[in-house]
Amino acid sequence: MSVGILAHLLGRQPFQELAAKVAATDCSYVQLALSKAISDIEFPLGALSPGLANEVGGAFAKHGVGIAVLGCYASLIDLDDETYRYNVNRFKEHLRHARHFGAPIVATEVGTPQDAALIPLYRERLDRALDELVEEAERWGVTIGLEAAQGHLIDSSETLAAAIERFPSSCVGVVLDPCNLMNGGNFERQEDIVREAFRLLGPRIVSAHAKDCVRSEDGNRLQGTAAGLGELQYPLFWELLERYKPHGFVTLEDVNEAQLPAAARFVVEGRRAARVRLSQ
């Protein structure tokens, strides 16, 4: 049983040093957002190549660290045509080169609407983007990982399931973060929300994030913290994850270096216990 981490949580640094630093932790793979994590290479649009990807991917592989996911967090719903085109082209570039990094997945949240009255336009933008991205993903044999997040156009398991239904390609999958489905208004129903997420999305999950949620004093807001330090009912999540996607990627988020060893143990031990329960 293994666990990963968002690479940039260890600090933006030269990629050789970053690979060594990850290897010194309890994490065996990363979700790598290039510009967020790597300081000694610039990654403007057009810079990626098989050689560059092999150089970075090889550094991680040399240290026994896999690149499970490339993070390409760019809005796919921006109403400015120039920004929208840049973001879509950047995501396509990641899809073309992901295999040279050794990454089977390129992941994103889709973007935050700035004007609720324009939701139909944002949806049209997203559909146009996914038309292009799905074609590119299928061409290169890479999976697009879509992640729901509060405040984004895709903000729940229902809206994510609807997007996948519009694009039923096997190259479209789900990055499931249970905390991203929660807010101050629905946290009391967290078990129902988690069960519904797996009912709607379980077969399409390609990766999961592990962080935790703590309610504010007034109960109206949720704050993120390291996995195991909050109020999320993780036993249910682990059981459902192991039932649907045994040994799937789980990546730590909202964790600092001091918290990392305990958070990694929490994930590994929780998943192991879930597998034992399922086998009985």
Bridge partner residues of 5 (DSSP): 30, 252
Average pLDDT over residues 100-117: 97
- Tell me the pTM: 0.96
Question: Would you state the structure tokens that stand for residue 128, as one six-digit string?
Answer: 């146009």
Which has the minimum average pLDDT: 42-51, 159-168, 219-228? 219-228
For the chain, the maximum distance between any two Cα atoms, rounded to a whole number of angstroms, is 56
Report CA-CA distances (Å) from 126 to 54, 109, 253.
31, 11, 26
Show the 3-state SS of 86-106.
Answer: HHHHHHHHHHHHHHHHCCCEE
pLDDT band with cut points at 50, 70 and 90 for residue 32: very high
Spatial contact of 43 and 19, defined as CB atoms under 8 Å apart: no
Spatial contact of 152 and 109, defined as CB atoms under 8 Å apart: yes
Average pLDDT over residues 98-121: 97
171-195 pLDDT, tens digit per residue, is 999 999 999 999 999 999 999 999 9
Q: Which residues contact 192 (CB under 8 A, 6 or more apart)?
A: none
pLDDT band with cut points at 50, 70 and 90 for residue 220: confident
Residue 104: closest CA among 77, 137, 127:
137
The domains of the chain, with CATH numbers, are 4-279 (3.20.20.150)
Averaged confidence pLDDT in the chain: 96
Return the pLDDT at 245. 97
What letter would DSSP give residue 13? B
Spatial contact of 208 and 176, defined as CB atoms under 8 Å apart: yes
pLDDT band with cut points at 50, 70 and 90 for residue 26: confident
**Alpha helix (H) residue ranges in 141-245:** 157-166, 190-201, 234-244
Return the pLDDT at 152. 97
Return the pLDDT at 15. 98
Q: How far apart are CA 94 and CA 151, in angstroms?
A: 25
Q: SS3 of 20, please?
A: helix
Neighbours of 97 (CB within 10 A): 23
pLDDT at 227 over 80: yes
Amino acid at 48: L
